[in-house]
Amino acid sequence: METAFKRTLLITAIVMIIVALGIFLTLLIESIPSLKSLGIKYLWNRTWDPVSNVYGALPFLIGTLLTSFLALIISIPFSYAIAIYLGEYKTKGGLHGFLKNIVELVAAVPSVIYGFWALVVLVPMVRSLETKVGTAPYGVGIFTASLVLAVMIIPYAASLGRELILMVPSALKEGAYSLGATRYEVLRHVILPYTRSGLLAGLLLSLGRALGETMAVTMVIGNTSILPHNIFSPGNTMASVIANEFTEADRTVYLSALIELGLVLFLVTVVINIIGKSIIKRFSHE
């Protein structure tokens, strides 16, 4: 039985590697016309003008990183608060089950629903905030997209964090209590250090979800190809511009430039995951 299980795991791993390589090679091959025509300057060119056959990925790269990391920063306090409350303070009972189900439901809501909700609720709120701070009251933009992304990714880190906190051995906590530690001290000095690498892994999972989100972001980011000047400016992400323009790409280089955006997004995700895993590994050995 154990041998069969190991064989199944090995086959699954090989299949996943083949799929990942297949995706990469497909994107690379389809990007060849763009790579030949535009070269490496494609990555730092600020202009995206299909009419003039000029393509630059920098505005979308900046937009993707801005929205994703800003959403991650916004979501961290809420994710950890939910994980700690359900994993340590309210581990049983009807309220625990209700809140747990709500968190899982939030993760299952389709992104287009989040987009509609953001248009109706978040956009007027952000527009009011922009009026107060003295910037152009677009309502849509990088900040609005980051807010809806933050709501969407909270359940991933919160659910994983809750499970990890529940798995902390009772002997460790009881030992700390027997030495006179308060509940806060147990949380700070026992639970969080014990689950640190897992909590970071949850954040990495959330970031990966934010990097690739398309529909909700497309509906509220403003969809402009201009490099954003601040977090309230309209913009675009790599995923949103592909969704908006892929069916309109009527020239080989135009279509290839969009596919190259997908290749860049794939590579950015891989690089961030590698960096994140190295950070997790470093913390897990401390």
pLDDT at 117: 93
Containing domain of residue 221, as a range?
Answer: 59-247+266-284
CB of 196 within 8 A of CB of 244?
Answer: no
Q: What angle do CA 200, 147, 207 make, to 5 degrees?
A: 25
Task: Report if residue 46 sits inside a domain.
Answer: no
DSSP codes joined into one string, 229-244 = SSTTS-B--HHHHHHH
pLDDT at 2: 60
pLDDT at 179: 80
Task: Report if residue 21 sits inside a domain.
Answer: no
Integer Cα distance of 254 and 167 in angstroms = 51
Task: Report if residue 36 sits inside a domain.
Answer: no
Task: Report if residue 26 sits inside a domain.
Answer: no
Which residues lie closer than 8 Å to 55 by C-beta, 6 or more apart? 34, 38, 42, 45, 47, 48, 49, 253, 254, 257
pLDDT at 104: 83
- The CATH number covering residue 184 comes to 1.10.3720.10
- pLDDT tens sequence for the chain (286 residues): 667 777 887 888 888 889 989 999 999 999 999 999 888 888 888 889 888 888 989 999 999 999 999 999 999 999 988 888 888 887 787 777 888 888 888 888 888 999 999 999 999 999 999 898 888 888 899 999 999 999 999 988 888 888 888 888 888 888 888 888 888 888 888 888 888 877 888 888 888 888 888 889 999 998 888 888 888 999 999 999 998 888 888 888 999 999 999 999 999 888 888 887 777 777 655 5
Task: Report if residue 222 sits inside a domain.
Answer: yes
Task: Report if residue 235 sits inside a domain.
Answer: yes
Q: What angle do CA 105, 202, 119 make, to 5 degrees?
A: 45
Which residues lie closer than 8 Å to 267 by C-beta, 6 or more apart? none
Task: Report if residue 238 sits inside a domain.
Answer: yes
CB of 127 within 8 A of CB of 138?
Answer: yes
Count of domains for the chain: 1
Task: Report if residue 17 sits inside a domain.
Answer: no
pLDDT at 237: 92
DSSP 8-state code for residue 49: B
